[in-house]
Each structure stands twice: as structure tokens, then as C-alpha cells.
Amino acid sequence: MRIIAGKHRGTQLADVGKGDADAHLRPTSDRVRESLFSMLTHHNVINGARVLDLFAGTGALGLEALSRGAREVVFIENGRVGQKLITENIKKLRAESATTLMRSDATALGGWIAAPFDLVFLDPPYGKGMGQTALVKARAGGWLTPDAMIVCEENAPLDPPQGFTREDKRKYGDTWITLLRQD
């Protein structure tokens, strides 16, 4: 797994092999990440963005956004394996000053008092409804800007919760990418 484009292009990220089912780690393939970031570039949401990476896993999505011009990334991950991988990957990119790792459950977000986020990645364990729960909590807690773009990676297209509109959805193998915006 590597950073595909931008400032850190070609940097190899910490290896997780085919993933870790017990830790719910499924690395997003380079092909899916490339397609996803092409969609985001089209929507012009990366440059200067404050990014929230929920269910961050390895941190690859947030770090790819940082490499492509995002201002900062906050990672939310409650698994120890994922936390270790994110920490390793942040060090590989020397991105400590632009990143924060919060060791907590994305489905139990409380209120957020700092600046809200422009771009949100949701890559929850497949088929458990955790993405919608986390998104509703993020909105209620003040984590999102009024026009935040939300990217969800799941095994089925995400039905937009109340207050969100689907902008796009695409299928890549057994993975669905759904783009949502706040209303």
C-alpha cells in the first residue's frame, strides 16, 4: 500500500497484508483509492480541507488527502492494530504537525468544539450500519461544516440519513463508494 499522488507520492505505508479481520482492517485498494480521489478532485474538496477520517484503519485515506493538499487530518480509530498502523504511517510521512489520532469509537462521538471538517471519510466494518450511526453523531456533535462532503466505503451504497443528499455512488468489485453532502 502506498500514497498514490501529491507531495508524498510513492511513499510505502505500513504493511497490513490482506487485512486483519479481527481488527476489521480492510485496506482500500490503490485502484479504488485512485478512483475515489479522482471523484473528490472533480468536486474540488481536497485542497486546504480539514479532514476527518472515521474508522481510520491504516489512515491511508486521510494521509492520501493530506498528500494531495488537505490542511490537516484527524483520525478516529478504536482498534489497537489500526492505531499502531496510523502512528507508523504518520511518522513515515513526517506529518505529525498536520495530523491528530484520537483513540475512540467513531459511533460514540460527542460534541466537537474545534473547527469543523470539510471532508469526512467513513470506512466502517461492512454491513453493520456503523457508518450511518457515526455520521449522525458527527453531525449532531458539530463536527461537520454546513457543506461537508462525506465519502463512505461499504459493501452496499449508503442510504443518506436525514439532512444529507447523495451526490454520487459507484461500485468497484464488492466495494461501494457513496458521496454525500449535508443539506
State in words which class domain 30-182 has.
alpha beta
Q: Output the pLDDT for position 129.
A: 87
**Domain residue ranges of the chain, discontinuous segments joined by +:** 30-182
Report the distance separating Cα 138 and Cα 134, nearest Å. Answer: 6
**DSSP state letter for 96:** G
- Report the chain's mean pLDDT, rounded to a whole number: 90
Nearest to 127 by CA among 162, 152, 150, 148: 152
Confidence of residue 25 (pLDDT cuts 50, 70, 90): low
Half-sphere CA count of 77, side-chain side, radius 13 A: 27
Nearest to 151 by CA among 66, 46, 69: 46
State the burial class of residue 107 (Cβ atoms within 10 Å of its Cβ: 0-12, 13-18, 19+): buried
Chain segment 84-123, per-residue pLDDT in tens: 999 999 999 999 999 999 999 999 999 998 999 999 999 9
Assess contact for 158 and 126: CB atoms under 8 A: no
159, amino acid identity:
D
